[in-house]
Amino acid sequence: MLVLVAPGQGAQTPGFLTPWLELPGAAARVAGWSDALGLDLVHYGTQADAAAIRDTAVAQPLLVAAGILSATALGDISPGAVAGHSVGEITAAAFAGVLDDTAALTLVRKRGLAMAEAAAITETGMSALLGGDPEVSVAHLEKLGLTPANINGAGQIVAAGTLEQLAALNEDKPEGVRKVVPLKVAGAFHTHHMAPAVETLAQAAADLAPADPTVTYVSNKDGQVVSTGAAVLDRLVGQVANPVRWDLCMETFQKLGVTALIEVCPGGTLTGLAKRALPGVKTLALKTPDDLDAARELIAEHANA
């Protein structure tokens, strides 16, 4: 069975959209989205520097646009399941037909602006913990006042909180943790610091008419399969202030019988986790259009497995 997944914030790099815009019709499509959102996705995806695309209000719609664009380039596919990490859940909602492309991008634009505004209230950030025992690490983070905002599986937990709390973590790592790596994000996402964004997002979601998923949709709130569009949308709203449980998503993939996993552009993060947590599962990350042929071969082998 094939699973199609979408990465979250921090996966973006300067110029990553450039080769994708060379595909037939891609540049015009992204330009149309840019006009609709009032945000120049072409500029940010091709010319902007790392600092500019680190901005939450820019990064989130840019990632969703790239995910939709690269998935479309695969052609008409029917994955056995879809899921997204953090903002990638909105990309996954588009894959599953819960939201059309315009609705998904409109929602993520409002999400990014609301989360950027919430992040500006207090200086916060996120850092990845590599190695260590999850239970030991979670207890240690809570002692420091930090939130385990992403429990990613494969020995990776992401801590979120104030810059002072993250500095304390650097000085006092949990037992067994090899390294603490600051992430390229502009706030403590998936924590109480994002609570102001939830109400804004709820108001935005109220204007949408979600459809029920056409494929199995796995929620990163708890790794559960969600079968109605209304429930998917409700989870997308609450998710901004709640931890991401990607470990549970991967457990669900395994229960569903996953044999292959493709991560849309800008791929790499989630396939890296899958290689460690899902042994035997073939993985492929879409980084540039050069990866499309290999992805199509993988789809042909596993889409109906």
What CA–CA distance (Å, rounded) separates 232 from 225? 10
Burial 138-174 (b: 16+ CB within 10 A, else e): bebbeebebbbbbbbbebbbbbbbbeebbeebeeebb
Per the prediction, the chain carries an average pLDDT of 95
- Amino acid at site 233: L
**pLDDT score of 10 more than 90:** no
- For the stretch 72-111, pLDDT in tens is 999 989 899 999 999 999 999 999 999 999 999 999 999 9
Confidence at residue 304, expressed as pLDDT on a 0 to 100 scale = 64
- For the stretch 239-287, pLDDT in tens is 999 999 999 999 999 999 999 999 999 999 999 999 999 999 999 999 9
Instruction: Respond yes or no: is residue 219 known to be catalytic.
Output: no
CATH number at residue 83: 3.40.366.10
N residues, the chain: 305
User: What DSSP string runs through 98-137?
Assistant: SS-HHHHHHHHHHHHHHHHHHHTTS-EEEEEEEES-HHHH
Confidence at residue 155, expressed as pLDDT on a 0 to 100 scale = 81
- Whether pTM > 0.75 for this model: the answer is yes
Instruction: Respond yes or no: is residue 86 known to be catalytic.
Output: yes
Catalytic residue among 86, 127, 137, 219: 86
- Together in a domain, 91 and 199: yes
Residue 180, CA distances (Å) to 156, 168, 171, 213 in order: 10, 11, 10, 37
CATH number at residue 158: 3.30.70.250
| Band of residue 186 on the pLDDT scale cut at 50, 70, 90 | confident
Catalytic residue among 34, 127, 140, 190: 190
Domain residues for the domain of 29 are: 2-120+191-302
Q: How many separate domains does the chain show? A: 2
| Band of residue 305 on the pLDDT scale cut at 50, 70, 90 | low
- Together in a domain, 101 and 205: yes
Last residue in a domain, options 134, 155, 182: 182
**pLDDT score of 124 more than 80:** yes
Residue 142 corresponds to which tokens in the numbers above? 């809570």
